[in-house]
A = this chain, B = another copy of it.
């Protein structure tokens, strides 16, 4: 239990709205988006960088552990307290100011608590957007802390690429505030310190403000579903599409037939777009888009896409078995429903992997070949981002399978998948969800000793206080 005197001081610092301590009002902050839930000693809800600094300084001086929480949409137990009841939650939900658009610089400076969809809503009238396309609607601070990627990485990259500056508070006895970068695009004046705080789950400091690169809104787009001639032709298809379309290509997403079927079964608003309702084994969602306005005499993008697909199709030994262009809204709706569909179809054992692009399909093939012998009741419902090598590798298991009550069984299954992905294929055990408590053990296993020593050293010289759910 936290001492009453600490609660009194924190309430003094933050005001009554700024500090929650009642069990009922803390529930949402204690519960993760998909996984376990913990118990918070309190929830601090600062509204300014100065308040964050005051809270961090006080907590570090009194050895009170804090877990920063942004939109709490993460999937790795990164933003919720553990079960001890001794960790405080530092929520960004009231830290939504400033909002300062620099139209000429194509950048915006915002409070880290602002939501992604709210940011893009406010920018729409300017013809600009923050180009990270996700299924969830997180707040920006968490997006930076986890370096989210998403479905249009191929065109726009990740949060890291689109971050021009941050303000961050360290977990030291002074609550030191670092102002790292403003809106400069070219700036090489030493270590680019903001990179340390991006993707490290808040362990090195709490990001309170960020300056983000904005991109012109796409004005035209077209999408198609492509059925590869065989799983091992997917890479050829990607190379052919990039060769013909260059930077027009803004998404190249892979969807297993199992994931598609799960979505079609469990999300009633979806229409089955496949001929005879027969879902292929593997489907690519390809998108082409451009941010210029359509001009007279210009070929519409769906015609461009048709033409390119026809060109690929006509070649001998084409990597394409079937393809059809369709409305982007419907095609993306199916893509974005995969996660929900898969969740509804059983108990989910989920992995957030990535590979060099050419290794995605060989990894999946290996899993398909070897998994049944290890666990016969499992269905592989993978989907992901072939264009950037990301794979949401989902194993769905009947909820009543008796083996699931054996924790060791699931652990050994997880360890085997990681072994193949990381050791055999050189892949990543955390492509875009970051570490969190959920991946702590794998961080320790797969990070070489000199790197772990560097990280621990960096933690000691920057934010020595207990901050975040990851132990670097």
**Which of A's residues lie within 8 Å of B, judged by CB?**
102-107, 127, 146-147, 149, 153, 157-158, 160-161, 170, 176, 178-180, 182-193, 195-196, 198-200, 204, 215-216, 218-219, 235, 238-239, 242-248, 290-293, 295, 297-299, 304, 307, 354-358, 385, 388-390, 426-435, 439, 443, 446-448, 450-451, 453-455, 457-458, 461-462, 472
Contact of A428 among B106, B184, B199, B295 (CB under 8 A): B184
**Is B190 within 8 A of A472, CB to CB?**
yes
Question: What are the 6 tightest A-B residue pairs by CB atom distance, in nearest-first order?
Answer: A246-B291, A104-B358, A195-B195, A457-B461, A186-B431, A187-B428
Question: Can you sample 15 A-B contacts with CB below 8 Å?
Answer: A105-B358, A147-B192, A153-B186, A176-B450, A186-B354, A187-B430, A187-B431, A188-B433, A189-B428, A190-B199, A191-B451, A244-B293, A298-B298, A453-B461, A457-B462
A215 to B157, CA, bound (A): 13
**Is B429 within 8 A of A235, CB to CB?**
no
A176 to B448, CA, bound (A): 12
**Is A188 within 8 A of B199, CB to CB?**
yes
A462 to B196, CA, bound (A): 15
**Chain A at the B interface: SS class:** loop
- Copies of this protein in the assembly total 2
The interface residues of chain B lying within 8 Å CB-to-CB of A192 are 147, 160, 195, 198-199
**Is B235 within 8 A of A178, CB to CB?**
no
With both chains docked as a complex, state the minimum distance between the C-beta of A208 and any C-beta of chain B, in angstroms.
Answer: 16
The interface residues of chain B lying within 8 Å CB-to-CB of A187 are 354, 428, 430-431
A354 to B165, CA, bound (A): 14
Contact of A188 among B179, B427, B431 (CB under 8 A): B431
Which B residue sits closest to A195, measured CB to CB?
B195
**Is A244 within 8 A of B182, CB to CB?**
no
Please name 7 further chain A to chain B contacts, defined as beta carbons within 8 Å, in addition to the given A180-B451, A184-B356, A186-B389, sorted by A numbering: A178-B448, A178-B451, A189-B430, A189-B447, A190-B455, A247-B291, A454-B462
**Is B357 within 8 A of A105, CB to CB?**
yes
- Asked whether A426 and B182 contact (CB < 8 A) given A161-B157, A358-B105, the answer is yes
With both chains docked as a complex, state the minimum distance between the C-beta of A24 and any C-beta of chain B, in angstroms.
Answer: 34
**Is B149 within 8 A of A104, CB to CB?**
no
Which B residue sits closest to A456, measured CB to CB?
B461
A439 to B191, CA, bound (A): 14
With both chains docked as a complex, state the minimum distance between the C-beta of A116 and any C-beta of chain B, in angstroms.
Answer: 17
**Is B242 within 8 A of A188, CB to CB?**
no
With both chains docked as a complex, state the minimum distance between the C-beta of A76 and any C-beta of chain B, in angstroms.
Answer: 10
Which B residue sits closest to A197, measured CB to CB?
B191
Interface-centre pick from A146, A153, A297 (highest chain B CB count, 10 A): A297
A198 to B192, CA, bound (A): 8
**Is A216 within 8 A of B246, CB to CB?**
yes
Contact of A243 among B216, B435, B448 (CB under 8 A): B216
**Is B189 within 8 A of A429, CB to CB?**
yes
The interface residues of chain B lying within 8 Å CB-to-CB of A428 are 184, 186-189
Which B residue sits closest to A298, measured CB to CB?
B299
A118 to B389, CA, bound (A): 28
With both chains docked as a complex, state the minimum distance between the C-beta of A207 and any C-beta of chain B, in angstroms.
Answer: 15
Which B residue sits closest to A462, measured CB to CB?
B454
**Is A245 within 8 A of B104, CB to CB?**
no
A82 to B297, CA, bound (A): 62
A248 to B184, CA, bound (A): 22
With both chains docked as a complex, state the minimum distance between the C-beta of A380 and any C-beta of chain B, in angstroms.
Answer: 20
Which B residue sits closest to A182, measured CB to CB?
B426
**Is B455 within 8 A of A458, CB to CB?**
no
A447 to B446, CA, bound (A): 35
Interface-centre pick from A176, A238, A453 (highest chain B CB count, 10 A): A176
With both chains docked as a complex, state the minimum distance between the C-beta of A424 and any C-beta of chain B, in angstroms.
Answer: 13
